[in-house]
Amino acid sequence: MMTKDIKGDFPILKNGLIFLDNSATTQKPTKVIKAVKEYYEQDNANVHRGIYKLAQKSTVLYEKAHEVVANFIGAEFEEIIFTKGTTEGLNLLAYSLGKNLNAGDEIVLSEMEHHSNIVPWQQIAKEKGAVLKFIPITKEYRLDMEKAAELITEKTKIVSIVHMSNVLGTINPVKEIAELAHEVGAVMIVDAAQSVPHLPVNVKESNCDFLVFSGHKMCAPTGIGVLYGRKELLKEMQPFLYGGDMIKEVTFEQSTWNELPWKFEAGTPNLAGAAGLLAAVEYLQEIGMNNVEAHGKKLMKYALEKLSVIPEVTVIGPAEVENRGPIISLNIEGMHPHDLSEMLDRENIAVRGGFHCAMPLFSKLGLDGSIRASFYIYNSKEDADRLVNAVMKAVEQAKKEEGVINRAEITPGDLTEEQELYKENVIDHYKHPRNKKEIEDYTAKYREVNPICGDTVTMYVKNNNGTIEEISFTGSGCAISQASASLLTENLKGKDIEEAKKFNQQEVFALLGIPISHTRTKCALLPLKTLHHALEEM
């Protein structure tokens, strides 16, 4: 019931789109779209500067956004810093807290972190000689809390953990981990990018020192996010960016910092984004975060039950629905996630396929990615049914076609007779790839990854007096990238190296001979890009 009314609030969903990529970003309700429009039509002026009425109106609105967000997560006004999003919040923390790290200090993360909660710490660790430790995950896709207790020691200075995994849906016991961190005097950071949109979160109850999230994953515009920090800690911390609003006084020699939270908000902020975030938080509060949580849980449980009876489907995440969010990653036997997501797209179901910005987790699990369906407030049981039915259809297809993507899915639109022939050829190259092997006495070898879908290609080339004597590839990927590698290697064997260096994108598309959708362009061109890198190394 709730979803029917709610769906109507989202203009983009009016054309029947089943949007299940909510962990990447959510759609925006009319209230938020209107708030941004009205900001520009009625309130636009810079904040904390002008004395005139419009500037004051804008300032009041901007400060109100901080107040409403503070209230939303149980924080105080001074503790709410607006950022671009979760990634910026984590970078700010890595930079500012990282200043106090010494060689040998330890930073504890987990194996289920998003790249945004790994890469900034890797950089700081490198700079300072600090050491990263990762809490492992169990077979049930939960954090191994015994190992967590062993890993968090007197050497630990920072613990930074995701609250709800954007791949597994696992909700981690951040309060318990915060206790472990505080016992040894470390600070506790929570990456709440997925939890704040889905659950009631109270920073004081969770006992964390810092918590970060993004507005765009909870109905607000992109480019606005939140960093919560305990006041005492923020007061001591060095700013991340300098200039503009974060200044109290400047002389030619030195500067002093503004009070909280502005000390951490340098330059002109995203004012319209803040107006949108304010509207989004009010919108979610009108629904009630308990209802948001209950709705997500109901859909997740329903979809998991239906998927569990399809033997070819593997869900990558806890089977137990307690402490689990409405994010379902899955694979089906014999079909690459990228091909599966394109199949679902043909049914107007938007899911994500690939590594979901968590490559280390997938490499630990030994998987080439997954598709991910994530539900939000506007999704309904019918949406879950549509997903399950489309997945079942794909399973049937995979069986019938020996794991090959449906002929109709490999390329968009109606095809000419000639293109139909090319399509058969592409499918044949995917099913029976030519030159898919390692060459031992290669002259050059190069490996490339497409970070979007996770396709990997390694190219091997053997040079014989300027001629390509042998060329081969290995790797894994979707139908298009694999067929493209097979066709490319077949075409270039025996050709001049110089000729191969000049082989261009249009020529790859000509080899494939079928229309390639925009989303598949990177897949089609990955082998060529890899080959060019290999040839550069010669």
209 contacts ligand PLP (rule: CB under 6 A) = no
Among 194, 206, 411, 443, binds ligand PLP (CB under 6 A): 194
* C-beta of residue 330 within 8 angstroms of C-beta of residue 394: no
Span 476-495, contacts to ligand PLP by CB under 6 A: none
| Helices 381-400 & 289-308 angle (0-180, nearest 10) | 30
How many CB atoms sit inside 10 A of residue 124's CB?
Answer: 21
Smaller CB separation from ligand PLP, 189 or 357: 357
22 contacts ligand PLP (rule: CB under 6 A) = no
Span 116-145, contacts to ligand PLP by CB under 6 A: 116-117
Smaller CB separation from ligand PLP, 116 or 207: 116
Among 20, 32, 143, 162, binds ligand PLP (CB under 6 A): 162
Amino acid letter, residue 306 = K
166 contacts ligand PLP (rule: CB under 6 A) = yes
Coil, helix or strand at residue 526: helix
Contact mark string toward ligand PLP, 354..373, x via CB under 6 A = ---x----------------
Query: Cα torsion at 284, 159, 180, 289 (round to 10°)?
Result: 0
**Residue of 208, 219, 357, 453 marked active site:** 357
Which stretch, 62-70, 113-121, 294-302, 380-388, contacts ligand PLP (CB under 6 A)? 113-121
Smaller CB separation from ligand PLP, 200 or 223: 223
Count CA atoms within 13 Å of residue 389 on its CB side: 11
Q: How far is the CB of 270 from ligand PLP (least distance, A)?
A: 13
Binding-site residue total for ligand PLP (CB under 6 A)? 15
Instruction: Concatenate the DSSP letters of all residues of 46-76 into one string.
Output: -SSS--SHHHHHHHHHHHHHHHHHHHHTT--
Among 106, 191, 245, 342, binds ligand PLP (CB under 6 A): 191
214 contacts ligand PLP (rule: CB under 6 A) = yes
329 contacts ligand PLP (rule: CB under 6 A) = no
Reply yes or no on whether 453 is catalytic: no
Instruction: Concatenate the DSSP letters of all residues of 287-305 into one string.
Output: H-HHHHHHHHHHHHHHHHH
Contact mark string toward ligand PLP, 76..95, x via CB under 6 A = ---------xxx--------
Which stretch, 31-39, 109-117, 448-456, 521-529, contacts ligand PLP (CB under 6 A)? 109-117
**CA dist., res. 32 & res. 10, Å (int):** 10
Q: Alpha carbon of 510 to those of 452, 477, 488, 506, 522: distances in Å?
A: 24, 20, 11, 6, 15
Which structure tokens are listed for 164? 């709800």
Span 216-275, contacts to ligand PLP by CB under 6 A: none
Q: Alpha carbon of 294 to those of 172, 184, 495: distances in Å?
A: 18, 36, 62
Which stretch, 72-80, 189-197, 273-281, 519-527, contacts ligand PLP (CB under 6 A)? 189-197
* E strand map for 375-479: 444-449, 456-464, 467-476
* C-beta of residue 324 within 8 angstroms of C-beta of residue 169: yes
Smaller CB separation from ligand PLP, 83 or 474: 83
Smaller CB separation from ligand PLP, 35 or 162: 162
Listing from the earlier edge strand, what are the strands of the sheet with 467-476? 444-449, 456-464, 467-476
Name the residues that contact ligand PLP, by CB under 6 A: 23-24, 85-87, 114, 116-117, 162, 166, 191, 193-194, 214, 357
Active site residues: 357
